[in-house]
Amino acid sequence: MCTSLPTEASLHWASMPALVTARTDHACCAVGGSIAVIGGVKRVGNNDTTTAGVEALTSREGAAFVNLPPLSCGRTYSAAAIAVEVSDSIAGQVLLLGGGNGSNQHLSTVQLVDLATGVCILHPHLLHGRVCPAAARLLDGRVVCAGGIEVGYLSSAEVLGPPEQGA
């Protein structure tokens, strides 16, 4: 058994508060002690609609998911979300990588989203449009993003970092 996990007897699943809006294909990450859920596809009547909606759950006891201001950069689904821990932001910030916009476009955009306001600030584009990529923050703070769908399926990977480290 993994040394950092509890013993098998104490491992269990516990239900958590429900989302405000049922959705699929959203981006999700933990930021500033909360879980942020960003964009995705929601059902309206009989139609699936890409949403710019954002909601978050704080880790406070008894907390529920609450709606946050929607993305100023518009609807997005199947993007990757990477937490940006900054002290001067009330609800934290998230880097939103790639995804689709619901109009059949494969986005290469990178948006810095301020969760308290929904304001998106455009950052340097990915080298590829990437819907459904994998992404993570490296231990040195750089951001890595791999795979996804562009015109075809991608095996490529790329790293966002300071120019002097961009080996």
- Contact (Cβ atoms closer than 8 angstroms) between residue 26 and residue 79: no
3-class DSSP state of 35: strand
CB of 162 to other proteins, least distance (A): 6
Cβ 132 vs Cβ 149: under 8 Å: yes
Among residue numbers 6 through 65, which ones bind other proteins (CB under 8 A)? 8, 11-13, 15, 24-30, 33, 35, 59
φ and ψ at residue 165, rounded to 5 degrees = -100, -5
Q: Is 112 in the site for other proteins (CB under 8 A)?
A: no
Shortest spacing between CB 149 and other proteins, in angstroms = 5
Query: Rounded CA gap, 36 and 54, in Å?
Result: 7
153 lies in the site for other proteins, by CB under 8 A: yes
The answer to whether residue 121 forms part of the interface with other proteins (CB under 8 A) is no
Task: Find the binder of other proteins among 44, 90, 151, 167 (CB under 8 A).
Answer: 167
Say if residues 95 and 112 touch (Cβ distance below 8 Å): yes
- Contacts of residue 148, defined as CB under 8 A and 6 or more positions apart, other chains included, come to 98, 106, 128, 129, 130, 131, 132, 133, 134, 154
> Using the rule CB under 8 A, which residue among 4, 47, 87, 104 binds other proteins?
4
Q: How many residues bind other proteins (CB under 8 A)?
A: 56
- The residue type of 100 is G
Stretch that binds other proteins, among 60-68, 69-77, 85-93, 138-146 (CB under 8 A): 138-146
Of the candidate spans 66-74, 85-93, 114-122, 149-157, the one that interacts with other proteins by CB under 8 A turns out to be: 149-157
Tokens (6 digits) for 72: 């100023």
10 secondary structure, DSSP code: G
> According to the binding rule CB under 8 A, does residue 131 interact with other proteins?
yes
**Residue numbers at the binding site for other proteins (CB under 8 A):** 1-5, 8, 11-13, 15, 24-30, 33, 35, 59, 123-127, 131-140, 142, 144, 146-149, 152-164, 166-167
